[in-house]
Structure 1
Amino acid sequence: MQDYTSRLSDPASRKFETFSYLPPMTDAEIRKQVEYLVKKGWNPAIEHTEPRYLGDSYWYMWKLPMFGETDVDKVLAEAEACRKANPDNHVRLIGYNNFNQSQGTSMVIFRGRTI
């Protein structure tokens, strides 16, 4: 078992979700994640937060969840719009599962600059 050095005093070392232990996702890999989310019938949503508040449980919602959206390009366009409007923030993609009334998936797709 490997210990990942993640310290509150070092914002660059903080790990925030499963994919944060991997290299940043490419555009093609993000597209695959959105395709999977849509294929499962989950409702996509975009959230963002400043890196210094990463440990908090509250993230800002970017518009409303995209209920019933099945167009992958529209979801990706909203994620990119959020990223452009908040270039220093982390941006995450969420898939809300109507059946379980829970998050089916949640992942940071764009990482903001660390302080």
Structure 2
Amino acid sequence: MAVQAYRSTKKYETFSYLPQMTPDQVRRQIAYAIAQGWNPAVEHTAKGTPAKVSFWHMWKLPMFGEQSIDVVLAEIEACHREFPDQMVRFVAYDNYAQSQGIAFVVYR
């Protein structure tokens, strides 16, 4: 099978080249981030913003030490309700590496 070019809209983060994640897949990614000891956070930005100059606004503060997947999902949903016309992404910060451990758009 030949490799095909991916034709779609703008790309944001690594998972944007894959089909939209199901709720269960989102839940498993959040569970993985929490299991790594990373601190979850939620961000949002206007749709159509060029990827190279996009500024993501933080939704509240990072959820330092949060262990509940349901709490994180509730914050993602609350952000989406507040900004229904914007993209919402999940981010997990790795304190040890002082970087993002994972980031992906939940609502495009």
Work out whether the TM-score is over 0.5: yes
RMSD: 1.3
Q: Could you tell me how far apart the structure 2 residues matched to 1:94 and 1:32 are?
A: 14
**In structure 2, what is the Cα distance between the partners aligned to 1:14 and 1:4?**
11
Aligned-residue identity in percent? 52
The equivalent of 1:4 in structure 2 is: 6
Distance 2:97 2:14 in 1: 21
| TM-score normalised by structure 1 residue count | 0.85
Residue segments in structure 1 that go unaligned for 5+ positions in a row: 7-12
Q: Give the TM-score normalised by structure 2.
A: 0.90
Structure 2 counterpart of 1:23, one-letter code: P
- State the Cα distance separating 1:54 from its structure 2 match: 4.3
Which residues in structure 2 correspond to 1:57-76 (within 5 Å)? 57-76=54-73
**Matched residues in 2 for 1:74 and 1:54: separation?**
30
In 2: Cα distance, 1:102 partner to 1:90 partner? 21
Paired residues of 1:44 and 1:75 also in contact (CA < 8 A):
yes
Tell me if structure 1 keeps the 8 A contact 2:26–2:106: yes
Number of aligned positions between the proteins: 105
Match of 2:19 among 11, 17, 23: 23
Of 78, 82, 90, 2:79 maps to: 82
What are structure 2's unaligned runs of at least 5 residues? none
| C-alpha separation in 1, matches of 2:31 and 2:45 | 24
Equivalent of residue 45 in structure 1, options 33, 41, 48: 41
State the Cα distance separating 1:3 from its structure 2 match: 2.9
> Which residue type is aligned with residue 64 of structure 1?
L
CA contact (8 A) 1:16 1:54 kept: no
Which one-letter code corresponds to 1:2 in the other structure?
A: Q
Q: Deviations over 1:46-86 (max 9, x none)?
A: 00111121422410110000011011100000000001111
